[in-house]
Structure 1
Amino acid sequence: MRKGLYIVLILLPLCFLSIQHIKAQVLLRSDSAASQIGASANSEKFSNGNNPREDDCIALNIGMPSRAMQQAIRNNMFNKGFGLSILVVYNPFKKSSVLRLGGEIGYTYYGRFKSGGLKTSYGIAHLVPVIRLRPDISTSIIPFADVFAGGDFYISNTKQDLGALETIAGIESYDFGSTISASFVKGLATGLMIRFSKTATSRLLLRFSYARGTPIKYVDRNSLNPVYGFLEGRSPVEYFAIQIGIAGIGK
């Protein structure tokens, strides 16, 4: 049920994007056939490559791993993660185009989980190229759709969870070390860039994404032993993400 809701959220802006692009093409053709006065009015509605960096943004992330992936990520924040991403997406053609190219880099922190005298911290670094489709217009609402593929890097660290008295006594906690596991991920994203006034130089960004990737390795907490080390488990990579941020930082 939840997955179906996310799919609907992704498809609705895609439909809106198609409608907006068709309307934009109709207006563009009618304006090109009109006089030079009409062309001047058209420049207010179409970017025409004048600002190829208007899609650059910085955003806050909320990561929501699937139930299967939660075996590798367990915390006291309802197994959710919070982080920051930077998207650099630009028009490479320097003219009117629906295509944007770029990339995304980010990190989502999934907190710490304490149990059985141990504490484990989790995080996922995200680095992917991005292909974006969106109508080349500068109206108050601009929909977009992204396709991305690249690397996710699962990072975890586990150590003994010492009490206050043990810490004061100078007892050092045993550190099982950090583990890093890479996953090749592919995904889709869709969203809106919203401008609240005609004079605004930036926009509110709302972005919803879904990603799946190759399995990652994680530390099996039940196998941890200071003498024998630990065993590794394998988990599928599948998660949804919500991003809220500011677009237009490249202006």
Structure 2
Amino acid sequence: MIVRHRKGYTLTFDPQTHRYTLENNGETRVLPSVTRVLSVLAKPRVNTWAMDTMAQHILDNYYPGMSTEEMILLLQEARTKPEGESQKAADTGSEVHDWIEGFLQGVPKGLPVNPKARKAVESFLDWWHREKRDFLLSEEIVAHPPLGYAGKVDLVLQDGTLVDFKTSKALYPEYRLQLGAYALALEWWENITPTRGLLVRLGKDGFLEVQEVDLERPKQAFSHLMEVYRYLNPPS
């Protein structure tokens, strides 16, 4: 369990269940994570990828003369293929984030054995060592009680730059909203106003991509998205 106390609130994060709870004046409530809030957005690219993954699995494994039972089995396998691939990607991303957290905390670690995670970590080290970097916070949980959400911030540099690391294949527009959410929470929870946002994509192929983000519009947009989330998920 990770526990933080701020302004009369107690924020608890359970890494096993990825659950955030907030306690204040004897009242406890479960808060959605930033990524949970963002899940209300349509992601057509993900749907297209899932369909392509299923189709490719069928093309790779179909052969003329398959029986009806074999075809049914193949279709069942194809349906689970996107979830399996997605989980592998998530596991690699978690491994990279854990390695970076240990590095920033001064815990010595060898490079990951997983080749994709290793290339992403090498990309991080390339970015990190380009210039001397000091930081205020790393892998810190934060919350915004008035808006009602919580999340974990990857990194806040000494100059106020808010950094979010990604191991995805691209930098998608919703990532800017994620930075906006963290910026709002940092202002309320830590009294830190980020000066700018930075998306750092650590490709599993070793490709490094850095995108600077003006945080004002993402902050406003995420506030409105919280209204949508609350409308779709009213308190029980």
Normalised by the length of structure 1, the TM-score is 0.28
Which structure shows the bigger proportion of residues in helix conformation?
A: 2
Q: Which structure carries more relative contact order (alpha carbon 8 Å, separation 6+)? A: 1
Normalised by the length of structure 2, the TM-score is 0.29
Which structure shows the bigger proportion of residues in strand conformation?
A: 1
